[in-house]
Structure 1
Amino acid sequence: MTELPTAPTGITPARVLTIAGSDSGGGAGVQADMRTFATLGIHGCVAITAVTVQNSLGVQGFQEIEPPIVAGQITSVVTDIGIGAAKTGMLASSAIIEAVVDACTPLGIGGDGTIPLVVDPVCASMHGDPLLATEALDALRDILFPIATVVTPNLDEVRLITGVDVIDDASQREAARALCGLGARWALVKGGHLRSSAQSPDLLFDGLEFHEFTHSRIDTPHDHGAGDTLSAAMASALAHGFSMPDAVAFGKQWVTRGLKAAYPLGGGHGPVNPLWRIG
């Protein structure tokens, strides 16, 4: 697979900021992002939005972080350490989404700024446990998507956000158009949940041109954190200056390799495994 450049020992590596929730089971959220960053030679920074009570069986509860603290983490990191890209995951509420947008915009993250912003619009866990307040969907659409460099929803999230039920190639294209219509510069409609397909088809759209990415579906029940891992790998590639299509291709290769190496954990779904990189 394509490799990202790594910094020589003693030289500051590329930095990427994840703005997301903590997964106490270590399979998704900030923990999945940081595993990907580390194994790709990226210095990962974090802005925690929520702390979840979570294991391989599901999410039993969560506590949101106060919006000013979320915004403060972003500002503190970017004004001192600097970043080449940022990504979002679980944002929990409209107040947190507003705080994230208010912090990112003046720092040049997303929108017309120079720092790419990957928005993974996490609405629920893989078990169906809600991770975003229903009323916050409007904030996603109205203020976060317009500053997103790329949005990466799965098919359940597409349906919640756009009302489009993706069942085939035509509806996947309809969904991509709808997402770009909400203001995102690029939309990646992930096809991993399109179970009728022997492939895992992802569709990237910039408002004008479609790019298709496919890999053979990996037969494993252990796919916890797949969306986080993909978006973290994409953000890492963007921090190194990759074009969006190349960043998506890299992320797709990365998460596919992690699914092949996924392992069982607890009594439920095990995680996507980027640790194959280190043995």
Structure 2
Amino acid sequence: MKLLPPAPLGQTPVRAMTIAGTDSGGGAGVAADLRTMALAGVHGCVAVTAVTVQNTLGVSGVHTIPPETVAGQIRTVVTDIGIGAAKTGMLATGAIIDAIVDVAAEVGIGRDRPIPLVVDPVCASMHGHQLLATEAMDSLRERLIPIATVVTPNLDEVALITGITVVDQDSQRAAAIELHSMGAQWALVKGGHLRSSPFSPDLLYDGETFLELDHERIDTPHDHGAGDTLASAMCCALAHGLSVPDALRFAKDWVTESIRWSYPLGAGHGPVNPLWRVSEPLPD
């Protein structure tokens, strides 16, 4: 795979921001985002939305950050350091989503603005623990998705957001059309959970054209943080100025290798592993 060009040592690298929650087990959330950003040669900035009590077996507690503090983190970074792209992950509440949307308009984040935005609509953990309040779904649909440069739900999230259960290519296309109709510039329906396919089929749609990307399906129970890793890899590529389709191609290659080299951790699901970048480098 082709990697993103690194900044020469001593020079300021490309910057990106993750707006997401923590995972105390280090497998997902801002930990996963910052791992990918660093290994992709991008300086990662953070706006923490929530602190979770979490390990490989699940989430046992969530503490949300005040919405004004979330917005303040974004504002103070963008107006000083500057970023080339941003991504969202776990946002927890409607009030936090509203604060993010408002500050995004203020500092130029979102579709048709200078700073592209990847929206990873995290609704629940892989263990089924709800990570987005029920009342926040309207804010997600009506306020955040409409400012997304690209929205990247998995199939469970697609069903919650659109009401469409994806079981095959036709329903995957229907879901992409519905997501795009909510206002996102590009809609990505990830197919990693589409077990009817021998591959991992992702579908990207811009309102006119469908782009289908198939990658090998890797048989492993250790896939914690895969969605965060793909979205943050897309964010890095967009910060470098790549188009959304090219950013997806880069991110899909990146997360496939991260899943290939995933590792066991604790007593539950281990994380995907972007450390392949330094321990198992691939030829261009």
TM-score relative to the length of structure 2: 0.98
Provide structure 1 residue ranges, at least 5 long, that are not aligned to the other structure: none
- State the secondary structure of the residue aligned to 1:262: coil
Question: Does the alignment pair 1:27 with 2:24?
Answer: no
- State the secondary structure of the residue aligned to 1:46: strand
- State the secondary structure of the residue aligned to 1:246: helix
Question: 1:209 and 1:263 mapped to 2: Cα distance?
Answer: 37
CA contact 1:23–1:31 (8 Å) conserved in 2 = yes
User: Which amino acid counterpart does residue 212 of structure 2 have in structure 1?
Assistant: E
CA contact 2:54–2:60 (8 Å) conserved in 1 = yes
What is the CA distance between 1:6 and its match in structure 2?
A: 0.4
CA contact 2:84–2:116 (8 Å) conserved in 1 = yes
What is the CA distance between 1:106 and its match in structure 2?
A: 1.4
User: Which amino acid counterpart does residue 6 of structure 1 have in structure 2?
Assistant: P
Question: 2:169 and 2:178 mapped to 1: Cα distance?
Answer: 14
Question: 2:126 and 2:262 mapped to 1: Cα distance?
Answer: 15
CA contact 2:168–2:196 (8 Å) conserved in 1 = no
Question: Does the alignment pair 1:276 with 2:284?
Answer: no
Deviating runs (4+, > 4 A) in structure 1? none
CA contact 1:21–1:51 (8 Å) conserved in 2 = yes
2:207 aligns with 207
* RMSD across aligned positions (CA): 0.5
2:282 aligns with none
Question: 1:203 and 1:257 mapped to 2: Cα distance?
Answer: 19
Question: Does the alignment pair 1:186 with 2:147?
Answer: no
CA contact 1:105–1:111 (8 Å) conserved in 2 = no
User: Which amino acid counterpart does residue 235 of structure 2 have in structure 1?
Assistant: A
Question: Does the alignment pair 1:49 with 2:58?
Answer: no
- State the secondary structure of the residue aligned to 1:134: coil
1:253 aligns with 253
Matches within 5 A, 1:132-151: 132-151=132-151
What is the CA distance between 1:184 and its match in structure 2?
A: 0.3
- State the secondary structure of the residue aligned to 1:200: strand
Question: 1:98 and 1:124 mapped to 2: Cα distance?
Answer: 19
What is the CA distance between 1:87 and its match in structure 2?
A: 0.1
Question: 2:226 and 2:2 mapped to 1: Cα distance?
Answer: 19
2:121 aligns with 121
- State the secondary structure of the residue aligned to 1:22: coil
What is the CA distance between 1:29 and its match in structure 2?
A: 0.3
Question: 2:98 and 2:9 mapped to 1: Cα distance?
Answer: 39
Question: 1:157 and 1:29 mapped to 2: Cα distance?
Answer: 16
Question: 2:51 and 2:74 mapped to 1: Cα distance?
Answer: 17
What is the CA distance between 1:111 and its match in structure 2?
A: 3.0
What is the CA distance between 1:277 and its match in structure 2?
A: 1.2
User: Which amino acid counterpart does residue 48 of structure 1 have in structure 2?
Assistant: V
Q: Cα deviations across residues 118-164 of structure 1 (Å, max 9, x unaligned)?
A: 00000000111100001111000000011100000000000000001
Identical aligned residues as a percent: 69
Question: 2:216 and 2:79 mapped to 1: Cα distance?
Answer: 42
User: Which amino acid counterpart does residue 129 of structure 2 have in structure 1?
Assistant: D
- State the secondary structure of the residue aligned to 1:153: coil
User: Which amino acid counterpart does residue 191 of structure 1 have in structure 2?
Assistant: G
2:15 aligns with 15
Question: 2:192 and 2:116 mapped to 1: Cα distance?
Answer: 24
User: Which amino acid counterpart does residue 41 of structure 2 have in structure 1?
Assistant: G
Matches within 5 A, 1:41-80: 41-80=41-80
Q: Cα deviations across residues 169-212 of structure 1 (Å, max 9, x unaligned)?
A: 00000000000000000000000011121100000000110000
1:175 aligns with 175
- State the secondary structure of the residue aligned to 1:191: coil
User: Which amino acid counterpart does residue 61 of structure 1 have in structure 2?
Assistant: G
What is the CA distance between 1:89 and its match in structure 2?
A: 0.1
- State the secondary structure of the residue aligned to 1:215: strand
Aligned length: 279
1:267 aligns with 267
Question: 1:132 and 1:123 mapped to 2: Cα distance?
Answer: 5
- State the secondary structure of the residue aligned to 1:176: helix
Question: 2:223 and 2:127 mapped to 1: Cα distance?
Answer: 11
Question: 2:120 and 2:50 mapped to 1: Cα distance?
Answer: 15
Question: Does the alignment pair 1:36 with 2:12?
Answer: no
What is the CA distance between 1:112 and its match in structure 2?
A: 2.5
What is the CA distance between 1:278 and its match in structure 2?
A: 1.6
User: Which amino acid counterpart does residue 98 of structure 2 have in structure 1?
Assistant: E
